C-alpha cells in the first residue's frame, strides 16, 4: 500500500495520528478521535496551533484556560451544515468530553502565538458552490486565507456529489514562489455516503516521479506532499473530505496541470 494512503488505526478512540515527522514533511499534522458519549480526549498543543473540527456529534470543550461549552450540532457530516470548530494556539491545552457519539478532527500546523483561542463557525461559514457541470462541488470554508484566525493553518470542507470530480482541474501548490505559487502540504480526510462506498484520488507530478492512484474508503486519509491531487466520486457514492494545508506562508496559490490548461481557458 502506498505511504500516501493512511487507513484508520481502529474504529474507536484516536483512529488517526499523523505528525509532520511521520509524514516526512515540515508543517501539517492531522489526528482524529471517534468517541462514544461520556468519553474524553485531551492534548497539549506544544509547538503547534490546532483547529478542532466537530465533524459529527457534540462535545464539551475546555481550552487555553477557558470553558467553551458544548460545540457541535451536525450529527451526520452529510447534513452539510456548517461545522462548529475551536482554534487553540500553541503552548496551550485542550480537552473534550463527548456529549454524544462524536468525531473530532485535530488539524495542526506550526504556531507562533499570533492569534488567541476562539470559536470558528458555524456563524460565518456558508456552504458555497464551486465549479460547473460534473466538476460542481460544495465548500464550507473554515479557515482559509480570507479569515485572519491562524498563524499557519488553512482548513476547509468539500462535498462532492456522486459522479462528480473535485480538487479539479488538477493543480499543485508545491513551490515557494509567491505570488505565482505557494508551498503547502495537505491532508485529505475522506468520508463516503453510503459508508461502504469508495472514491478515487490521484497524486501525481508533471515529471511522473510521483504518480499514485488510490481507492479511498470511508475514514481514510491521503497525504499530498507535492503534485496534483484530483478526486473522483463514482455514481452512487457521495464524497466528503476535510482539507488541512500549511506551509511557509499562509497563502493558497496554485498552478494547474499542463493537460487541464485548455479546459480552464475554455470554462473561463
- Quote the pLDDT of residue 215: 98
| pLDDT above 70: percentage of residues in the chain | 99
Q: What is the mean pLDDT of residues 251-260?
A: 96
Q: What is the mean pLDDT of residues 219-238?
A: 98
Q: How confident is the model at residue 1 (pLDDT cuts 50, 70, 90)?
A: very low
The residues spanned by each domain of the chain are 5-267
Quick check: 203 and 174 in contact, CB under 8 A? no
Evaluate if residue 52 carries a pLDDT over 90.
Answer: yes
pLDDT tens digit sequence for 187-220: 999 999 999 999 999 999 999 999 999 999 999 9
- Quote the pLDDT of residue 268: 64
Fold for the domain defined by 5-267:
Jelly Rolls (2.60.120)
Cα 233 from Cα 153, distance rounded (Å): 26
Alpha-carbon 77 to chain mean position: 13
Q: Pull the grid cell for residue 116.
A: 488567541
Using only the alpha carbons of the chain, give its radius of gyration: 18
Give the C-alpha distances (Å, rounded to integers) separating 130 from 18, 165, 166, 168, 231. Answer: 29, 11, 9, 10, 14
Evaluate if residue 57 carries a pLDDT over 90.
Answer: yes
Residues in CB range of 28: below 8 A, 6 or more apart? 20, 108, 109, 185, 186, 187, 244, 245, 246
- Quote the pLDDT of residue 2: 74
Mean pLDDT of all residues belonging to the chain: 97
Q: Pull the grid cell for residue 8.
A: 484508520
- Quote the pLDDT of residue 103: 98
Residue 189 bridge partners (DSSP) = 221, 242
pLDDT tens digit sequence for 140-187: 999 999 999 999 999 999 999 999 999 999 999 999 999 999 999 999
Amino acid at each position: 500500500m502506498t505511504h500516501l494512503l493512511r487507513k484508520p488505526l481502529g474504529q474507536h478512540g484516536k483512529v488517526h495520528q499523523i505528525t509532520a515527522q511521520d509524514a516526512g514533511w515540515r508543517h501539517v499534522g492531522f489526528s482524529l478521535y471517534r468517541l462514544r458519549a461520556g468519553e474524553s480526549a485531551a492534548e497539549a498543543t506544544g509547538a503547534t496551533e490546532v483547529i478542532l473540527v466537530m465533524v459529527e456529534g457534540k462535545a464539551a470543550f475546555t481550552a487555553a484556560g477557558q470553558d467553551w461549552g458544548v460545540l457541535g450540532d451536525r450529527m451526520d457530516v452529510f447534513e452539510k451544515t456548517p461545522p462548529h470548530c475551536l482554534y487553540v494556539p500553541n503552548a496551550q491545552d485542550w480537552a473534550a468530553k463527548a456529549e454524544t457519539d462524536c468525531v473530532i478532527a485535530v488539524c495542526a500546523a506550526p504556531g507562533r502565538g499570533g492569534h488567541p483561542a476562539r470559536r470558528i463557525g458555524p456563524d460565518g461559514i456558508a456552504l458555497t458552490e464551486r465549479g460547473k457541470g460534473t466538476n460542481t462541488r460544495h465548500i464550507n470554508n473554515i479557515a482559509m486565507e480570507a479569515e485572519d484566525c491562524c498563524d499557519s493553518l488553512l482548513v476547509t470542507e468539500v462535498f462532492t456529489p456522486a459522479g462528480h470530480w473535485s480538487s479539479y482541474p488538477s493543480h499543485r501548490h508545491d513551490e515557494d514562489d509567491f505570488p505565482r505559487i505557494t508551498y503547502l502540504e495537505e491532508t485529505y480526510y475522506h468520508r463516503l455516503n453510503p459508508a461502504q462506498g469508495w472514491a478515487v484520488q490521484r497524486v501525481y507530478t508533471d515529471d511522473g516521479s510521483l504518480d499514485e492512484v488510490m481507492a479511498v474508503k470511508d475514514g481514510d486519509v491521503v497525504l499530498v506532499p507535492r503534485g496534483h491531487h484530483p478526486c473522483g466520486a463514482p455514481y452512487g457514492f457521495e464524497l466528503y473530505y476535510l482539507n488541512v494545508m500549511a506551509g511557509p506562508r499562509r497563502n493558497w496559490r496554485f498552478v494547474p496541470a499542463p493537460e487541464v490548461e485548455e479546459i480552464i481557458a475554455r470554462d473561463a
